[in-house]
Chains A and B, each alone.
Chain A
Amino acid sequence: MAAPLSVQVEFGGGAELLFDGVKKHQVTLPGQEEPWDIRNLLVWIKKNLLKERPELFIRGDSVRPGILVLINDADWELLEAGWGQAAPGRQDGSPLLPPFLLEVLGPQCLQQLALGK
């Protein structure tokens, strides 16, 4: 059983284009049965924040290759448990503590397909 969780989500590097150009979102995730982790957080983002072209954000079970995800300013790939298992905020082994910042960077391809550097 997971209590409601307050999360700040920021999009940059082109990702904001998929979210109506809005870069910063302060969201409160509702309480639910399963604990909140990255996988269901991203699904929630796709359902509730994403405005267009989901295929540019999510591919299968994960983000589209080329998109970078940072949790509290660190690459999510660093978290030992990795995708689908890491719980937000649990980087030091301590309980979930706000503020929790999720940043999504890219997909750069939107810009790069065009005119280059």
Chain B
Amino acid sequence: MPAPRCASCHKARAALRRPRSGQALCTTCFCAAFEAEVLHTVVAGRLLPPGAVVAVGASGGKDSTVLAHVLRELAPRLGISLHLVAVDEGIGGYRDAALAAVRRQAARWELPLTVVAYAELFGGWTMDAVARSTAGSGRSRSCCTFCGVLRRRALEEGARRVGATHVVTGHNADDMAETVLMNFLRGDAGRLARGGGLGSPGEGGALPRCRPLQLASQKEVVLYAHFRRLDYFSEECVYAPEAFRGHARDLLKLLEAARPSAVLDLVHSAERLALAPAARPPPPGACSRCGALASRALCQACALLEGLNRGRPRLAIGKGRRGLDEEGSPREPQPSGPPTSEPIPGF
């Protein structure tokens, strides 16, 4: 039972079968195809024009490591410059090791690195402090809700500091597909509407943001990192919860086993969704505190921080966000159903 020959070069032994096409490729041809597809995603979507100063969200994990590595290879062809931006959420032990990986990468690739810390940006609120504050609420995973929102804001700030024109993150097709499933299952029309498409154009003064690995399946990202022997960090966050995303992921994996193209098909379907008029969210305005894009008086980040600072961290979690009246005195929040305490991806 020999392994088949590579379908591209016909010389080397194949190392994997591509999920979408079923084509068997050797490591060299696979890596070349992977890089070519990222290039195509960027060029066809006009995501990173020549001259762009690109802030790469670098966590030290496999996705951002692969993203930075591939973009660095493609940078001369695209005419872009890269700057690594790492976010320090203030999680003792875990983030230190991850940041060490990012620093090694920055040195090896000779790329500039900027680290932005929650403690500095958000008035001393590290994730360790947030976790202590939310611990009493009885649902430990609500701290992850904070982290997703605040991390996105921190990345934006880091990108501004380095004079970036664009922000890229390493979300892969599996992440996107999971998010689509989650939004469907939660009935979150707003997120479904905003989530499609290759990138956010950057409304409300935010920097344009895109995900060049969006059409790469997670399996291929892992294998690319493996075949290229990339040094990355994979460890469990101490706050890693039994979150809802895990269920979406399990479902997706089962579907993928039956139909390998399901992951990408889901992403493409979401891009083509049109919402019924009644479901369309109102056009967003600006946060009254910081000016960022917001669908309510306060943007998510300011609302969460407000809750933390008032000693009532659960204030802004959940669909209604009632009780967060910015001019009046705080009212008791009405029970508004189960809080959305899954980690929110940096969309």
A51 at the interface (CB under 8 A from B): no
Evaluate whether A65 and B257 lie within 8 angstroms (CB atoms) in the complex, with A114-B236, A117-B170 already known. yes
Chain A residues close to B by CB (< 8 Å) = 12-14, 17, 64-66, 68, 70, 73-75, 77-81, 86, 90-93, 103, 105-106, 108-117
Distance of B334 from chain A, by nearest CB (Å): 30
Across-interface contacts of B14 in A (CB, < 8 A): 74, 78
Stretch at the interface among B40-48, B60-68, B73-81, B307-315: B60-68
B253 at the interface (CB under 8 A from A): yes
4 further A-B contacts with Cβ under 8 Å, apart from A14-B234, A108-B62, A114-B237, are: A75-B223, A78-B15, A117-B57, A117-B171
Evaluate whether A110 and B236 lie within 8 angstroms (CB atoms) in the complex, with A13-B226, A75-B17, A78-B24 already known. yes
Which 5 pairs, one residue from A and one from B, show the smallest C-beta to C-beta distance? A114-B237, A65-B253, A117-B170, A75-B16, A80-B1
Stretch at the interface among B243-251, B272-280, B316-324: B243-251
A116 vs B299: C-alpha distance when bound (angstroms): 21
Supply 10 A–B pairs (Cβ within 8 Å), ascending by A. A64-B253, A65-B250, A65-B256, A66-B218, A75-B223, A91-B13, A108-B234, A114-B240, A116-B151, A116-B169
Across-interface contacts of B223 in A (CB, < 8 A): 68, 75, 105
A115 vs B1: C-alpha distance when bound (angstroms): 42
Chain B residues close to A by CB (< 8 Å) = 1-4, 13-17, 24, 27, 57, 59, 61-64, 67, 89, 91, 144, 147-148, 151, 169-171, 175, 218-219, 222-223, 225-226, 234-237, 239-241, 243, 245-246, 249-250, 253-254, 256-257, 343, 345-346
A109–B235 CB distance below 8 A: no
Partner of A113, one of B234, B343, B346: B343
A81 vs B14: C-alpha distance when bound (angstroms): 15
A12–B226 CB distance below 8 A: yes
A59 vs B8: C-alpha distance when bound (angstroms): 34
Distance of A90 from chain B, by nearest CB (Å): 6
For B13, give the chain A residue with the smallest CB separation: A74
A75–B234 CB distance below 8 A: no
A77–B17 CB distance below 8 A: yes
Across-interface contacts of B241 in A (CB, < 8 A): 113-114
Distance of B168 from chain A, by nearest CB (Å): 10
For A82, give the chain B residue with the smallest CB separation: B1
B151–A115 CB distance below 8 A: yes
Evaluate whether A116 and B222 lie within 8 angstroms (CB atoms) in the complex, with A86-B1, A92-B2 already known. no
Across-interface contacts of B144 in A (CB, < 8 A): 114-115
Across-interface contacts of A108 in B (CB, < 8 A): 62, 218, 222, 234
A77 vs B226: C-alpha distance when bound (angstroms): 16
A79 vs B17: C-alpha distance when bound (angstroms): 10
B170–A13 CB distance below 8 A: no
A79 vs B4: C-alpha distance when bound (angstroms): 8
A110 vs B4: C-alpha distance when bound (angstroms): 33
B246–A111 CB distance below 8 A: no
For B95, give the chain A residue with the smallest CB separation: A115
Distance of A42 from chain B, by nearest CB (Å): 17
Partner of B236, one of A17, A74, A90, A106: A17
Across-interface contacts of A66 in B (CB, < 8 A): 218, 249, 253
Partner of B234, one of A78, A93, A111: A111
A66 vs B243: C-alpha distance when bound (angstroms): 17
For A103, give the chain B residue with the smallest CB separation: B226
Best-surrounded residue of A12, A17, A77, A115 (most CB of chain B within 10 A): A115
A12 vs B226: C-alpha distance when bound (angstroms): 9
A111 vs B151: C-alpha distance when bound (angstroms): 16
A17 vs B234: C-alpha distance when bound (angstroms): 9
A48 vs B120: C-alpha distance when bound (angstroms): 47
A109–B249 CB distance below 8 A: yes
A111 vs B15: C-alpha distance when bound (angstroms): 26
B16–A74 CB distance below 8 A: yes
A73 vs B236: C-alpha distance when bound (angstroms): 25
